[in-house]
Amino acid sequence: MTKVFKEHNNRKIANQYAEYVTGEAFRKYVAGKVKQYVGDNPSVFDGAVGSGQLEWLVEPRHVYGVEIQSASCEVFKENYGDKAHVYNQSFFDFEEVVLADCVIMNPPFSLMFKDLSDHEKAVIQKEFPWKKSGKIDDMFVLKSLKHSKRYGFYILFPGVGYRGTERKFRELIGNQLAELNLVQNGFEDTSIDVLFIVVDKEKTGKTCQREIYDCKSGSQLLVDSWGIDTDNWEQPRIEAEKEVIDIDFVNQELDRIVLDRLQKHLESQLLVIRYFGADIDYLGFISKAYDILANYEVQYNLGG
Ligand SMILES: C[S@@+](CC[C@H](N)C(=O)[O-])C[C@H]1O[C@@H](n2cnc3c(N)ncnc32)[C@H](O)[C@@H]1O
């Protein structure tokens, strides 16, 4: 594809539908993951397709896109021409039978179930009867998975990984979670870190890969393997290096400071006596210092 990609991102409308622009580096990262799992030029389903920016570098054979904003749908069609199959409606009113090689989605963050129409609620509850309230990030994922032959790639608000209301969602994904990644600096219009998950409908193994990817520097900051826990999709974290305190060294330094101070005091007092004839009870001070030392020497020996 050589033509320039067009975006539709009117911030006022975008806020209403929780739309954020994924930066170039993030799109590359997503395209790399899709290539790794699904190969070149897959057909793609996206239930919140916007203008299709997320799929651009994937170079899909076809994109089946559902999108609620008609202006975005128009730009999506311009971008993909006859590769675009567009459905201008809410994803929760969408009941077509479409099966693509994979799903790629950046669903809107934290929209509320209570704000959906009665029809949208009914469509959701037909399939997920337990869903009665809360946010609908989880519904975008679960409902879209049936439009993928095997893999799903999702950019998600981190809350889906730990919120109690999304526990059922994490349980249903279960061991199908192939990757749980934290992506930093991925958006042009917000600095929030997000989850990027890979779901493999055929995976049964109990561990998944995690990584931290920073889009600003284009680098992978951490990669590990993690035992899936549906209570909490624990985000990968870089452990802060613990400062090792050498207690012997600290004690020696303290001793040195105190002795230095004592020596300097004795030296300066002696100087004042010698050169200025000051009337100072020098020996009285030394005697008191001896007393203190002797006292603690005795206490130490008794303790020993
Ligand atoms: C975070 S943006 C995704 C942008 C998109 N990935 C792109 O490449 O342009 C979320 C999109 O979901 C759309 N949206 C919000 N509610 C929706 C719904 N119920 N059904 C379908 N799309 C919806 C918004 O209009 C917005 O375009």
CA distance 148 to 127: 17
Amino acid at 276: F
The predicted model scores a pTM of: 0.78
| Residue 155 alpha carbon to ligand 1 centre in Å | 12
How many percent of the chain have pLDDT more than 70?
93
Which whole number is the average pLDDT over 267-294? 91
Other CB atoms within a 10 A radius of the CB of residue 50 amount to 27
User: In this structure, what token pair is assigned to residue 162?
Assistant: 């730990």
User: Which atom from ligand 1 is nearest to the alpha carbon of 109?
Assistant: 1
CA distance 34 to 284: 85
Per mean pLDDT, which range of 66-80, 186-200, 223-237 is the poorest? 186-200
| Residue 242 alpha carbon to ligand 1 centre in Å | 43
Which whole number is the average pLDDT over 180-197? 91
Q: Which one-letter DSSP state was computed for residue 187?
A: B
Nearest to 105 by CA among 77, 144, 76, 51: 144
User: Which atom from ligand 1 is nearest to the alpha carbon of 20?
Assistant: 1
The residue whose CA has the least distance to atom 18 of ligand 1 is 90
Mean pLDDT over each residue of the chain, to the nearest integer:
91
Quick one: pLDDT at residue 8? 59
Q: How confident is the model at residue 1 (pLDDT cuts 50, 70, 90)?
A: very low
| Residue 211 alpha carbon to ligand 1 centre in Å | 26
CA distance 74 to 78: 6
252 Cα distance to chain centroid? 44
Terminal Cα distance for the chain, rounded:
83
Ligand 1 pocket: which of 9, 29, 106 to mutate (most atoms within 8 A of CB): 106
| CA torsion through residues 115, 119, 122, 127, sign | negative
| Residue 205 alpha carbon to ligand 1 centre in Å | 32
The residue whose CA has the least distance to atom 2 of ligand 1 is 19
Run of H or E including 259:
helix 247-276
**Does residue 209 have a pLDDT over 90?**
yes
165 backbone dihedrals φ, ψ, rounded to 5°: -65, -20
User: Which atom from ligand 1 is nearest to the alpha carbon of 120?
Assistant: 19
| Residue 107 alpha carbon to ligand 1 centre in Å | 6
CA distance 115 to 135: 10
94 Cα distance to chain centroid? 30
How many percent of the chain have pLDDT more than 90?
78
User: Which atom from ligand 1 is nearest to the alpha carbon of 53?
Assistant: 8
User: Which atom from ligand 1 is nearest to the alpha carbon of 136?
Assistant: 19
Quick one: pLDDT at residue 40? 97
Amino acid at 128: F
Tell me if residue 18 falls in helix, strand or coil: coil
The residue whose CA has the least distance to atom 16 of ligand 1 is 17
| Residue 203 alpha carbon to ligand 1 centre in Å | 28
More confident residue, 270 or 21: 270
Ligand 1 pocket: which of 49, 136, 157 to mutate (most atoms within 8 A of CB): 49
Q: Report residues whose beta carbon is within 6 angstroms of any ligand 1 atom.
A: 17, 19-20, 48-54, 66-69, 72, 90-92, 106, 108
Ligand 1 pocket: which of 5, 11, 17 to mutate (most atoms within 8 A of CB): 17
Contacts of residue 72, Cβ cutoff 8 Å, sequence gap at least 6: 8, 19, 49, 50, 51
| Residue 72 alpha carbon to ligand 1 centre in Å | 9
User: Residue 197 forms beta bridges with which residues?
Assistant: 154, 180
